[in-house]
A and B are shown apart, each in its own frame.
Chain A
């Protein structure tokens, strides 16, 4: 791994962006890397656009600013594309992982997409897309393994809830399409 990897999550309040950032940090940590999950809380309102950040590095991470030039962006809600510039500041060769039924084009970044809302509704019964999008992220970036994510889910959720989230992750991992 060369240098620090910075990931920005875009979500809406209640979709689990903060949890997604932490689960990703935990998966990377479990793989022996240093990681940091930094949430940015607005006035916590369900539905409002929210941000969360994850940093991953092979060295201890000292920087604590928000992330302005991410390597990867994860978008948990398709409707955010119309209200937020999710590609803002993304590094050259960066990748945007979208929850979307279809691909979106970005002039400055590659993209990957998966219909995480349908997966979440089917697997979890609620449109909480964070775990599915982690599956998509793993597929698109290879930054963490599917196994690490599944292990982290097992540590975080118990019983049926763990099974459902693991199913969502696996389904999203299978269905994610990377556009190069």
Chain B
């Protein structure tokens, strides 16, 4: 059944449909509606789960460690500063191989204080060993959250489902809500193989002395790399059952494109509209959307971008002193490959600034220019930056 719901509502409905057993979270804008809805579901008996109230995000994720360790399907949600406060425990969750699912409503980081959207929060913790999926629309928020539980449980890794704050979290649009019985079929009862059980005591999270630490880190790396296959497999299984399949990346009119735009998250939709316009004028422009940022789909991106003359990476984050994170990962993906398209980086939409069609056109134009001349004038540009304010122009 189709319903008009916001991204936050879609995430909450998905967690409910997944029959989560434990929710522990702390409210933070723009994620709060997720935990409010889940608290309502638990309170009115629609969802048979334990809602653990805590005093901070650090505690929220710590509680999730415990519940995941006893084999309960576990969900949390956060955003921005909350994710930062969780960061210590993020690494513990992946290192302990606990299949926790988190919804992260992407929001910028202080300072300056900002409650609005960009992707700096989840990008900042890209190295924490979690799988990260980014959503284009509210349907993907629901679909990816349901899939996240199966990916997490079958690869013993925590999964973060990221979606743009406000632009998705607070935007209402039609979402196909699957039947409970269908979701039950897709997500059978889950059994954690290393159950923490007083009847059969084990030790979890023991010290990793220098003789062992590196092996455990290597196994984490292998697990996250291997989860690529799981993400594809689960995406296909979901497609077979619900008619909407997901993958690591999505290619939109990019097969024969000379210029390809690359992005992740809600910006993809606006870019698709622009692509159709360009195609209407005979311009060979396409989009590749990154859904899985971790594991990074390096091979898939090289395969789908390699034929282009220029690739413009639009992203709502940057690594101060370097480039955008997606851009640097993409550059790394092309290392040692014989041919690489020219790569351009556009930092945009920081702190909730609207990425308008005008800005998308500006990036496309620059990439077309590079494709034509074979030269990149400026590798990293900031879209919408008011240059007089930062002293670039008098």
Which A residues have a C-beta under 8 Å from some C-beta of B? Answer: 22, 25-26, 29, 34-41, 43, 60-66, 68
Contact = CB atoms under 8 A, between A and B. Distances in A.
Interface in B322-359: 354-357
B4 A35 contact: yes
Given A25-B4, A41-B115, A68-B356, A63 B172 contact: no
Interface of B: 2, 4, 115-116, 137, 166-168, 170-174, 266-267, 269-270, 272-273, 354-357
A25 B272 contact: no
Contact of A62 (B115, B166, B168, B272): B272
Nearest to A22: B172
A62 B172 contact: no
Contacts of B355: 65
B166 A64 contact: no
B174 A62 contact: no
Given A25-B4, A41-B115, A64 B269 contact: yes
B353 to A, nearest CB: 10
Contacts, number: 62
- Name, among A37, A43, A62, A65, the residue most crowded by chain B CB atoms within 10 Å (CB to CB): A65
Given A29-B2, A40-B166, A61-B173, 14 more contacts: A22-B4, A25-B4, A37-B171, A38-B171, A39-B170, A41-B115, A41-B116, A41-B166, A43-B115, A62-B270, A62-B272, A63-B357, A65-B354, A66-B354
Contacts of B266: 64
B4 A26 contact: yes
A35 B2 CA distance: 12
A147 B116 CA distance: 36
Contacts of A68: 356
Contacts of A40: 166
Given A62-B270, A65-B357, A66-B356, A34 B166 contact: no
A36 B171 contact: yes
Contacts of A35: 4, 172-174
A38 B352 CA distance: 13
Contacts of B173: 25, 34-37, 61
- Name, among B2, B4, B270, B354, the residue most crowded by chain A CB atoms within 10 Å (CB to CB): B4
B174 A34 contact: yes
A35 B3 CA distance: 11
27 contacts: A22-B4, A22-B172, A25-B172, A25-B173, A29-B2, A36-B173, A37-B172, A37-B173, A38-B171, A39-B171, A41-B115, A41-B116, A41-B166, A43-B115, A61-B173, A61-B269, A62-B137, A62-B269, A63-B269, A64-B171, A64-B266, A64-B267, A64-B269, A65-B354, A65-B355, A66-B354, A66-B356
A90 B62 CA distance: 51
Contacts of A37: 4, 171-173
Nearest to A30: B4
B269 A39 contact: no
B164 to A, nearest CB: 8
Contacts of B166: 39-41
